[in-house]
Amino acid sequence: MRIKQSEFEISAVKREQYPVDGLPEVAFVGRSNVGKSSIINALANRRHLAKVSQTPGKTRLINFFMINEGEFHLVDLPGYGYAKVSKTEQASWGKTIEMYLTDREELKRVILLVDSRHKPTKDDLIMHDWVKHFDIEAIVVATKSDKLSNNELRKSEKIIKDTMGLTKDDKFYFFSSLNKKGKDELINYLFEGLVEEENEIE
């Protein structure tokens, strides 16, 4: 699959603000500072499609991007786990994410981003459980892999899979937005079949 075109469509907080065109959606979620905006920009081959915030944890909007002029939406969910915001604000983001995950028929897949350099956090585990609870396909992508050697990557993969309870049937991938190694393969891995799947449903 090729991402030939991408553009920002709308930011939303409430359900009534979500797009109503029925296109399949792939959502990206992860902790603040995990590199969510960077991977979205790298995959879409657009430098400033998703804005990289200078203040982690600031954005609580859900951003929808149109891919390939109406094939599907890429969805950027608010970052979580930033310690310097209030508990009330953190709870608000949690509700925003949960509201989107609940009964969103267009949502076909969630890409959960974790930092390849660190053991997944409690928040990462909660988010993974959340996605599974709503019976949504989840793919775990470990970002910033350029920071690790091949030996460190093998250790990281074991730590991440063991901590999150991933099995051989669960999908897992490393990626670096800096060197973009394996970008085309990752695009196929994350998005292949979405349009065909939607056509079969129709």
Instruction: Give per-residue pLDDT as tens, 44-100.
Output: 888 888 876 555 545 578 999 999 999 999 999 988 876 555 566 656 667 888 899
The predicted pLDDT at position 88 comes to 62
Could you identify the residue written with the tokens 């657009």? 46
Q: Which residues have C-beta within 8 Å of that of residue 99, sequence separation ≥ 6?
A: 15
The predicted pLDDT at position 17 comes to 95
Q: Is the pTM of this model over 0.85?
A: yes
Q: Please give the Cα distance from 59 to 17 (Å, whole number).
A: 16
Rounded to a whole number of angstroms, the CA Rg of the chain reads 16
Could you identify the residue written with the tokens 């949504």? 136
Ordered domains of the chain (ranges, CATH): 6-201 (3.40.50.300)
Q: Which residues have C-beta within 8 Å of that of residue 125, sequence separation ≥ 6?
A: 163, 164
* 183 to 8, 122, 143: CA distances (angstroms): 21, 28, 12
Q: Which two structure tokens, joined as six digits, stand for 84?
A: 């310097």
pLDDT tens-digit profile, the chain (202 residues): 888 899 999 999 889 999 999 999 999 999 988 989 899 999 988 888 887 655 554 557 899 999 999 999 999 998 887 655 556 665 666 788 889 998 899 999 999 999 999 999 999 999 999 899 889 999 999 999 999 999 999 999 999 999 999 999 999 999 999 998 888 888 988 888 886 644 443 4
Q: Please give the Cα distance from 96 to 82 (Å, whole number).
A: 16
Greatest Cα-to-Cα distance within the chain, rounded to the nearest angstrom: 48
Q: Which two structure tokens, joined as six digits, stand for 104?
A: 């969103």
* 42 to 59, 135, 166: CA distances (angstroms): 20, 28, 26
DSSP 105: T
